[in-house]
């Protein structure tokens, strides 16, 4: 069996991802967290759910990060969660310390692993992960576009009263308020949503997508989203482990594509056994390209703050 280690596995996103991976039955799962006993307990709990849920994956937990040795993929969900009124960039300095430490451990103990980053601010932390690990860019990516696109799909389906699984969407840019949903690339069973709803409705759904994470934070009051982020991270891990070559929007390193230079930002990629096997360049309008560059510029500014 392949091995996937989830660093931050004691938290809600990590534990949710652990459950989804176990139920897929494509790998063994290791939950890693600094909170002693928490990852061990959640791992044991997930292991005991196996006979009922019908999976044979081995699930365990540890507070010793050296146990990630031999991992095929390391999923990084660790970090401080957002609180109401807190922007993703407010988390910058704190989470850079956390992610930097994890990156050094991955470099030491799992030097051949692929890394999928979920920690916020997502694009900046993914850049930081690659910088500290020194890994080639195709092995380090961030999960954001899959989540933003899933939210857009869910809102479109609810608005139209259609099956959510029939909706496909593409959201580019940084994982924040400057993200770039592309309505003309959103479809319901192949039918563009621009043929199914008016411009004002689309713009309302686009704006809700941009604020999707904050809407959940405001409702929960003491935490942030975890079921959908965990599911979306697993979709990326699956594509690597099963070499499915999914075309997904993800935070990938760009130094040339879309006229971008030295930045991690959400773009469409082909994701397979080689990691980020290709950045797919969609034909964008000038307005869409400007929005993407504006979003990437915000990421670069935040990276510059880290020094």
User: What's the token pair of residue 127?
Assistant: 């850049």
What one-character-per-residue DSSP string does 76-112 give?
E--SPPP-TT--GGGGHHHHHHHHHHHHHHHHHH-TT
Please tell me which residue in 109, 128, 175, 293 is annotated as part of the active site: 175
Find, among 55, 63, 52, the residue nearest to 18 by Cα.
55
Burial profile 18-56: b = 16 or more Cβ within 10 angstroms, e = fewer: bbbbbbbebbbbbbbbbeeebbbebbeebbeebeeeebe
Positive or negative: CA dihedral 67, 72, 75, 76 = positive
CB 239 within 8 A of CB 268: no
List, edge to edge, every strand of the sheet that includes 167-168: 167-168, 187-188, 191-192
Q: What angle (nearest 5°) sits at the alpha carbon of residue 157, between those of residues 152 and 160?
A: 125
For the chain, first and last CA: distance in Å?
A: 40
| Long-range contacts of the stretch 286-291 (C-beta < 8 A, 24+) | 288/180, 288/182, 289/258, 289/259, 291/173, 291/178, 291/180
Closest to 39 measured CA to CA, from 3, 7, 69, 17: 7
The Cα–Cα gap between 68 and 18 comes to 14
Give the C-alpha separation, 17 to 12, whole Å.
8
Catalytic, 109? Answer no
Positions marked catalytic: 175
């Amino acid at each position: 069996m392949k091995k996937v280690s989830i660093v931050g596995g004691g938290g809600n996103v990590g534990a949710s991802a652990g459950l989804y991976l176990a139920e897929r039955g494509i790998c063994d799962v290791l939950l890693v967290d600094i909170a002693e006993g928490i990852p061990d307990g959640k791992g044991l709990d997930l292991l005991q759910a196996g006979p009922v849920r019908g999976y044979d994956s081995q699930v365990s937990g540890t507070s010793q990060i050296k146990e990630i040795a031999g991992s095929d993929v390391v999923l990084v969900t660790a970090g401080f969660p957002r609180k109401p009124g807190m922007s993703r960039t407010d988390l910058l300095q704190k989470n850079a310390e956390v992610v930097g430490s994890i990156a050094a451990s991955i470099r030491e103990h799992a030097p051949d692993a692929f890394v999928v980053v979920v920690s916020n601010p997502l694009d900046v932390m993914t850049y930081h992960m690659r910088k500290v690990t020194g890994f080639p860019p195709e092995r380090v990516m961030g999960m954001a576009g899959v989540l933003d696109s899933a939210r857009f799909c869910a809102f479109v389906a609810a608005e139209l009263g259609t099956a959510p699984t029939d909706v496909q969407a593409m959201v580019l840019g940084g994982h924040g308020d400057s993200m770039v949903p592309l309505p003309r690339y959103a479809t319901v069973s192949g039918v563009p949503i621009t043929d199914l709803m008016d411009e004002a409705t689309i713009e309302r759904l686009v704006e809700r997508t941009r604020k999707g994470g904050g809407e959940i934070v405001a409702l929960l009051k003491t935490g942030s989203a975890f079921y959908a982020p965990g599911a979306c991270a697993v979709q990326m891990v699956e594509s690597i482990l099963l070499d499915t070559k999914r075309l997904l929007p993800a935070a990938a390193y760009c130094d040339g594509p879309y006229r971008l230079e030295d930045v991690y930002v959400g773009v469409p990629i082909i994701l397979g056994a080689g990691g980020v096997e290709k950045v797919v360049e969609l034909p964008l309008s000038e307005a869409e390209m400007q929005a993407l560059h504006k979003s990437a510029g915000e990421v670069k500014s935040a990276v510059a703050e880290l020094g």
